Amino acid sequence: MERALELIGTHSAMVLLREAFWGGRRFDELARRAGVTEQIAAKRLRQLVEAGLLAKQPYRQPGQRTRYEYVLTERGRELFPVLVSLIEFGRMLQGDSSAMELVHEGCGEPVELRVRCAAGHDVALSETTARITKR
pLDDT (tens digit, 9 = 90+) per residue, 39-60? Answer: 999 999 999 999 999 999 999 9
25 has a pLDDT exceeding 70: yes
Answer yes or no: are the C-beta atoms of 56 and 70 closer than 8 Å.
yes
Stated pTM of the model: 0.83
Amino acid at 84: V
Helical axes 27-34 vs 11-21, angle rounded to 10°: 120
Residue 17 lies in a domain: yes
Residue 134 lies in a domain: no
15 has a pLDDT exceeding 70: yes
101 has a pLDDT exceeding 90: no
The CATH code of the domain that includes 32 is 1.10.10.10
Domain that holds residue 59: 2-77
Per-residue pLDDT averaged across 62-73, rounded? Answer: 95
Shared domain check, 107 and 120: yes
Number of structural domains the chain divides into: 2
Answer yes or no: are the C-beta atoms of 18 and 34 closer than 8 Å.
yes
Instruction: Give residue-wise pLDDT tens across range 75-98.
Output: 999 999 999 998 888 888 887 666
Distance, CA of 81 to CA of 5 (rounded, Å): 15
Residue 100 lies in a domain: yes
Domain finish residue from 77, 95, 118: 77
